[in-house]
Amino acid sequence: MAADYPDIDIAPFIDHALLTPTATPEQVEQWCEEADRFHFAAVCLHPTYVKQAAELLHGKNPKVCAVIGFPTGATTSAVKLYEAQEAVENGATELDVVLNLGWLKAGKTEAVHREIAEICEETGQPVKVILETNLLTEAEKRMAAELAMEAGAAFLKTSTGWNGGATVADVQLLKEIARERVGIKASGGIRTVNQAIELILAGATRLGTSRGIDLIRQRDNLEKVE
């Protein structure tokens, strides 16, 4: 698969994710250095490390992305808003916000919309709304995507990675719904360069993965074989 698409440079698609509960400041430094060296789109971190990452990447190209309401999306709207505002104050330039799945399934669409809209409006930064597609029916995926876009989301993101990862089918569905109005971030379980290429071809404009370096090495090895 990847060998058939030598012109696709996967590095600019990658959000270099460090979202384990045991992440350390030393790892944050490593992730930021790698993101800069390999020209990744962003580093994606817990809010506690945003300030450190913003200092390390000051004046450099990779964006600093903070996850909000991660990984369940079940914190209150006020907490999510404060978490997002503080992350931006600390230097976050993108926010990955987990949708309130319980509200969505209960039909509380106005509350879902309002929560996302407040974060978009109050922070002024690009928001990627995490839909957690593996836990939704197709109808719920469509509803969640439309609500997120109406509320001002800049991206639709498939998953946190905690309940299964991105699939080609879900990326294709989100692309169909989005009709190029917003970006599509595929996240979770992206372990091979072939997966990465398949997701990009399906419509992903970002790839969330902790294995960005592995993907680059796999790609380099393919080029050496050729």
How far, in Å, CA of 212 to CA of 41, rounded? 11
Contact 166, 134 (CB under 8 A): no
pTM for the whole thing? 0.96
| pLDDT tens-place string over residues 118-177 | 999 999 999 999 999 999 999 999 999 999 999 999 999 999 999 999 999 999 999 999
Q: How confident is the model at residue 72 (pLDDT cuts 50, 70, 90)?
A: very high
Would you say residue 226 has pLDDT above 70?
A: no
Separation of alpha carbons 118 and 188, rounded Å: 27
pLDDT of residue 223: 61
Residue 13 host element (H or E)? none
Which residue's structure tokens are 């990452």?
53
* Residues marked as catalytic: 96, 157, 185
CA 101 to chain centre: 17
- Do residues 172 and 198 make contact, with C-beta atoms less than 8 angstroms apart? no
pLDDT of residue 4: 80
| Phi/psi at 181 (5° precision) | -75, -30
For residue 192, is pLDDT > 50?
yes
Residue count (the chain):
226
Give φ, ψ of 30 to 5 degrees. -65, -45
Per-domain residue ranges for the chain? 9-221
Cα separation, 145 vs 155, whole angstroms? 9
Average pLDDT over residues 49-66: 99
Tokens for 102, please give them.
């319980």
| pLDDT, tens digit, 9 for 90 and up, residues 83-105 | 999 999 999 999 999 999 999 99
Architecture of the 9-221 domain:
Alpha-Beta Barrel (3.20)
Choose among 43, 47, 46, 24: nearest CA to 34.
43
